Amino acid sequence: MNNTVATANVLSAAYRAGAEHFVFTSSIAAYGHPHDDRPFDERTACEPCDPYGAAKLACENYIRSFESYFGGPSFTIFRPHNVFGPCQNISDPYRNVVGIFMSCALRKKPMPVFGDGSQTRSFSYITSVASCIAEAPITPAARNAVINVGGDEPMSVRDLAGEVAKVMGVRTDIRWLPSRKEVQNAHCSHELARQIFPRVYSEMIDIATGLKLMAKFVHVHPIPPLTECPSPIEISDQLPSSWAERLGNPVGSTV
């Protein structure tokens, strides 16, 4: 509902208001599992392996079809991944692993890691992603394009926990949890983004620097209350047991 219906509503409103360009943040989840060791590029076939990725891809297709049928607005679709930075909500226990780890460090709690922590991602500092989004409507080469955007440095979740502990000034303390159903290694090529937004990518902030900047921010701001799930879970199958425990749902039940 949040992805497909809301996107359709916002796009229709933009069209009625005369908007000339529509920018949508999709997700690397649209690709699904990698077919080989190469990072995803924009020519990679999209075969999402979870409902979130399928919903994001559905939004992309709707936006393309809308532009083709109505003649506008033109669009840019970004596929960002694992974005982090200052002002991020660090009290959401379900999303944004950097925020979760920093929140645990502040609360003196162990950092939750699913499986052995060997799954890898390329974590993306916010400024480059946000700059590309802001420049897309006035960048001709971004017109009606799908663009991967984010960082290039692969890092395992286990190593990320260690890096977060370091910048937060605490010892690495991990709560090892059962593996969950997820893509093991997910990385993107950003060659197209570099061609279209060369200035932005020339100023890319690496993971280590980005973590220091975010840690500096969270250290001087109050810890917000935990952000709990805003509505009942419709299907609890595949829900990690630690999440089910927090939500009070036995795994496998349907609410």
pLDDT of residue 252: 47
Average of per-residue pLDDT across 196-216 = 97
Q: What angle do CA 179, 183, 184 make, to 5 degrees?
A: 70
Q: Is residue 52 part of a domain?
A: yes
CATH of residue 71's domain is 3.40.50.720
Provide the β-strand partners of residue 186.
121
pLDDT of residue 162: 98
Number of domains in the chain: 1
Q: Given CA atoms 93, 104, 176, 167 in this order, what sign does their dihedral have?
A: positive
Residue 254 clears pLDDT 80, i.e. is over it: no
Q: Is residue 14 part of a domain?
A: yes
Q: Is residue 233 part of a domain?
A: no
Q: Is residue 238 part of a domain?
A: no
Residue-wise pLDDT tens digits, 225-236: 888 887 888 888
Q: Is residue 40 part of a domain?
A: yes
Identify which of 11, 165, 142 has the alpha carbon closest to the alpha carbon of residue 77. 142
Higher pLDDT, 223 or 147: 147
Residue whose pair of structure tokens reads 């093991």 in the numeric block: 184
pLDDT of residue 131: 97
pLDDT of residue 249: 64
Single pTM value for the model: 0.93
Task: Outline where 44-109 has alpha helix (H).
Answer: 51-70, 97-107
Residue 250 clears pLDDT 60, i.e. is over it: no
Domain interval for residue 194: 4-227
Mean pLDDT taken over the chain: 94
Contact 227, 208 (CB under 8 A): no
Residue-wise pLDDT tens digits, 91-128: 999 999 999 999 999 999 999 999 999 999 999 999 99
What dihedral do alpha carbons 219, 225, 226, 228 form, nearest 10°?
-150
